[in-house]
Structure 1
Amino acid sequence: MAVTCRKATDQDIDTLHDIIQGYAEQGIMLPRSKETLAQQIDTFVVALIDEELVGCGSLTRLGKDLVEIRSLGVTNGHKGQGIGNALVDFLVEEAKRQEIPKVMALTYAVNFFERNGFTVVPKEIFPEKVWRDCIHCKKQHCCDEIAVLKRLD
């Protein structure tokens, strides 16, 4: 079973929405409308097994030297098969290609990110994230996500 990753296309939007919505309904990912996905499709990557889309993630620029991995998810029935690792590797390589030295994420899956070379850091060191996204989040004043960072420089 080989996992391949590629940039997302407009044809992936419905499946991306389904994956993200499944996590959003559990309260562990922010929802994304199909319209938003269409507008941001160039930031998304997908993972495939035998041409079946089984995972996704995006890389969002927060500043000249910082990007965030977000909307990282794997379909039910495919978790624990290395798909998340493949997506993170692909996204980190994309950050390197863009010469962005810092990759961060807000997550509940701290162990997963630590296994992928990230370190837990205080989320307050990311004012770019706070002012861009957190001000719109219902958990703004009671955020329980953990910030992780990987330095590429």
Structure 2
Amino acid sequence: MIRPARIPDARIIHQLLLTYAKDGQLLGRSLAAIYDSIRDFYVYEEDGKILGIGALAICWADLAEVRSLAVVPGQHGKGIGRQIVERCLQEARELGLQRVFALTYQPEFFQKLGFTEIDKAQLPQKVWGDCINCVKFPDCDEFALAINILNA
């Protein structure tokens, strides 16, 4: 089941993100940053275990990002990531947002959900909000994809 993350989930979220950050598959986040944004996160929980996480971060009046999407190794291909993204898109619609984007090394996953590749230059709020502090800035090698919520 997918539910909003709670304070006791923060350390699990942190550890799961570190699993993929070590390989450079996504950006790690400090435990403090996770506590700070815990309300952005959703967790997929099954039998009391968190098997997947993801967050919807509001960037601007009409724009949000699906970020920190991760599924426990060995649990891929079961629809966990898809369900988390769909819940994020549902929340984006409820908030009245127009577009949601993702920066990813897995563009095919997001394309299956209706996202299309875009130029990162279309995301000025993201660049000045988070990317400027990234070690890869300005040479980001992630793919940028977006979906128009009104059509999703």
Fold-level match, TM-score > 0.5?
yes
Q: Does 1:109 align with 2:106?
A: yes
TM-score (norm 1): 0.96
Unpaired segments ≥5 residues, structure 2:
none
Number of aligned residue pairs: give it: 150
Report matched runs for 1:1-153 at 5 Å.
4-153=1-150
C-alpha distance in 2 between matches for 1:95 and 1:26: 30
What is the one-letter code of the residue matched to 2:21? A
Shift of 1:29: 1.2
Q: Give CA deviations for 1:107-132 in whole Å, capped at 9, x if unaligned.
A: 11000000011000101100000000
C-alpha distance in 2 between matches for 1:140 and 1:30: 12
C-alpha distance in 2 between matches for 1:23 and 1:12: 17
Q: Give CA deviations for 1:80-103 in whole Å, capped at 9, x if unaligned.
A: 111000000110001011111100
Q: Which runs of 4+ in 1 moved over 2 A?
A: none
Q: Among the aligned pairs, what percent are the same residue?
A: 37
C-alpha distance in 1 between matches for 2:47 and 2:93: 27
C-alpha distance in 1 between matches for 2:133 and 2:73: 28
TM-score (norm 2): 0.96
Shift of 1:51: 2.3
RMSD value over aligned CA atoms? 0.8
What is the one-letter code of the residue matched to 2:29? R
